[in-house]
Amino acid sequence: SSKARNTEIQNADDVAVLEDCTDYSLAKTISKIEEKLEKGDLPDCMDDDDDDIIPSAGNEIGAEAQIRFLKAKLRVMQEELDNVVCECRKKEDENENLKSQLKDTVEENTRLQRAISVQQSQTEKYRTLAQEANKKSEGLQQEVIALEKVLH
């Protein structure tokens, strides 16, 4: 009973945004970065030479190229996030299926335990009947032997 998932994707400046993430807007983030770049106010992380967000040649490329680079990096990160979300959903579905199978197995086990109990009680009943029949048979054989002695 896996649930159908609605994974509609919106495009915001060529960036895929999951509809579920309404509190986090990539378009707003890009707009903020673009505004800062236009003002020449780069974030601290872009000034560090050790950071891998903008390559070391980042200081030599223009604002538009930096924006394109950041958008591309953002798209890659969004695709990775989408893949992780998809994997999580698959794992959730798999867990639900396994829970359902476990429930069915527990129910089947309970049913089989009841059947075993009934069969054990029937076996005991038939064992008792067989013992009684053997005693009766022995008694009848003794009676037959006694009657044969009387006839001879």
The pLDDT score that the predictor gives to residue 41 is 62
* DSSP-assigned states of every residue in 12-30: ETTEEEETT-TT--HHHHH
* pLDDT at residue 114, as a whole number: 98
Domains of the chain, residue spans: 61-151
Full 3-state SS string of 114-132: HHHHHHHHHHHHHHHHHHH
The pLDDT, as a whole number, for residue 81 is 95
The token pair that represents 109 in the structure block: 């086990």
Token representation of residue 111: 């049913």
Structure tokens at 57: 């040649």
Tell me the C-alpha distance between 15 and 8, whole Å. 13
Yes or no: say if 66 and 37 are a contact pair by the CB < 8 Å rule: yes
What pLDDT, on the 0 to 100 scale, is given for residue 140?
96
Cα–Cα dist 15/24, whole Å: 13
The pTM of this model reads 0.45
pLDDT of amino acid 105:
98
What is the per-residue pLDDT for 60?
Answer: 59
Q: Which helix (H) or strand (E) holds 4?
A: none
| Per-residue pLDDT tens digits for 60-97 | 578 888 888 999 999 999 999 999 999 999 999 999 99
Which residue positions in the chain have pLDDT lower than 50?
Answer: 1-23, 45-51
pLDDT at 126: 97
Query: What are the residues whose beta carbons fall under 8 Å from the beta carbon of 16, sequence distance 6 or more?
Result: 9, 10, 75, 78, 79, 82
